[in-house]
Structure 1
Amino acid sequence: MRYLESSHPIVDRLAMCLSILCWFIYPILLFGFAYMREFQLPYYILLNLSFFMFLQVLLTVVHEKAHAYAASCFSFKTEISYRNKDKKHFRDGQKFFKPCCLFKGDAKISKIAFVTIAIAPAITLSLIFLLFLLLFKTYLSQFSDVFYFGVLLYVIKLRGCSGDISLIIGALKQSKGVKFQQLDAGNFRIL
């Protein structure tokens, strides 16, 4: 029996490097803009970091909802789990808030549906970012820090699509009539 996992060594390494780069740039931008604008540093950092983390969580939920919506377009029933219910992983220090989109029943997903469902969050996040750029065009010219934080947030959230990209790469390598069945979050059986 063959399996498809949401992990690909090259994609994972690139995503990790991108994530580290973004989290390295974020504090530099944060302190730099606070200094340039002569804001009180603790309040500026607290406000930005709180808003940044809130948007991280919100966009993670949007990511999973995009999978669910795309799956519903192909008449698949899904459920979004927001918590890692495996207490062993919680004790080992892994994330407790770990949303994932799970297919109900033993859905057999065609290759085209699988790729479409997997790519949906990247398209959704890109459209949200495009809307962000269009709506705040005049605002961004006055407050460039909002633009840079928006770009960093977008890149970090796209890094969250790396598992989906790994699944797409694996699915595209399969033969034409193949179907996929979810075993658990991010792992699929190739039928």
Structure 2
Amino acid sequence: MLHHEMQDEHSDAWKRLLDLINDAAAQNIEEWTPGSLMPPEEWHSIVTLPPQIGTLKSVRKLCLYGSSLVRIPPEIGEMTALEEFDLYTSYRLHWFPYEITHCPQLKDSRISTRALYGNFKNRNPFPDLRGETGFLDSIRPLTCSVCRVDLDDTYRTRWISLKMATDVVPLLVFACSVSCIDSLPFPPNNYVLKPHRGGRSIEQPPRR
């Protein structure tokens, strides 16, 4: 099941995180580790990052080690300088937005892959997107994950497993049309070989 926790955007922790993003953007920081800049109890109250992370155009290494994150916002695709993404021991993070494939420089990742949906070591089941309509409405991006045109209420959602830097990860796609879904890349061998809606009826390859 998808984590449904919503972020308290009125908390001191959220306000502090926004200030840290503003400072990092103003200072053209290249390596950003927000968890080291906040009290531990505040950092662990963060379940998603603000969309303002898209303003971090100079960040080359993003370290979210040991976070309590359950979602990454689609605006991460706007971090055009991002090269390294460290999420190791962020055990509550099971998937990523498809928009992360828009980071042109991303080449190195460190993830606790056993926590991911569809990972080859344990084949964690993909949540059935058909039963998550209300929640998906609350987290959907403003634009199509694939072609980036404005997204309306007729959007389509799919899971797809693709290589992100050094790891194969499950990505959640919000598509504006069937043609955008059809244009998605082919997943690597040993993963579900097409975009899908999840659910226990999805046959995954055997564990390795």
TM tier relative to shorter chain:
under 0.3
Which structure has more helix as a fraction of its residues? 1
- More relative contact order in 1 or in 2 (CA 8 Å, sep 6+)? 1
> Larger radius of gyration, structure 1 or 2?
1
